[in-house]
């Protein structure tokens, strides 16, 4: 047989990737042959478009560091929620084995609350 017995598990993945590649190429080809092309080339056609508002001023403006701090804090608390989902799913199953799972998550919350109150004390979430 031309396929190694250990590698035969990858055959469905290879087939799926091949089908996806063929469909992608078919869509691009159909668009190239059947799609309409602009016949008139005007300056407005190649002008910068941003939500219908013409560009004003320089695009290189400086942002406050607080903007990035708020973004990083958002990601931090977003990751906290990602860690809470698996814990909530297995909570009842492991609660019968002891209270360690509850103490572990409470410790996690306390550490995050300390960081949150530190951030509030330093006015890290204020814009002005």
pLDDT of the residue at 91 = 80
User: Per residue in 53-94, pLDDT tens?
Assistant: 666 777 777 877 778 888 888 888 888 888 888 888 888 788
Task: Give the predicted TM-score (pTM) of the model.
Answer: 0.47
User: Per residue in 4-44, pLDDT tens?
Assistant: 667 778 888 999 999 999 999 999 999 999 987 777 777 77
Q: Which two tokens stand for residue 101?
A: 């799972």
| DSSP H helices in 35-99 | 65-95
The ranges assigned to domains in the chain are 65-121
pLDDT of the residue at 16 = 96
- The mean per-residue pLDDT over the stretch 109-117 comes to 89
Cα separations (Å) of 42 from 39, 51, 52, 70?
Answer: 10, 19, 17, 43
């Amino acid at each position: 047989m031309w396929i190694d017995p250990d590698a035969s598990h990858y055959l469905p993945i290879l087939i799926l990737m091949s089908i996806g590649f063929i469909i992608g190429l078919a869509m691009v080809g159909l668009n190239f042959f059947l799609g309409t092309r602009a016949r008139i080339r005007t300056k407005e056609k190649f002008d910068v478009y941003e939500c219908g508002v013409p560009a004003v001023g320089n695009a290189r403006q400086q942002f406050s560091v607080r903007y990035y701090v708020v973004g990083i804090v958002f990601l931090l608390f977003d990751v906290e929620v990602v860690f809470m989902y698996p814990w909530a799913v297995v909570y009842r199953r492991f609660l019968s084995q002891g209270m360690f799972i509850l103490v572990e998550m409470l410790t996690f919350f306390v550490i995050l609350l300390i960081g949150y109150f530190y951030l509030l004390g330093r006015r890290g979430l204020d814009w002005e």
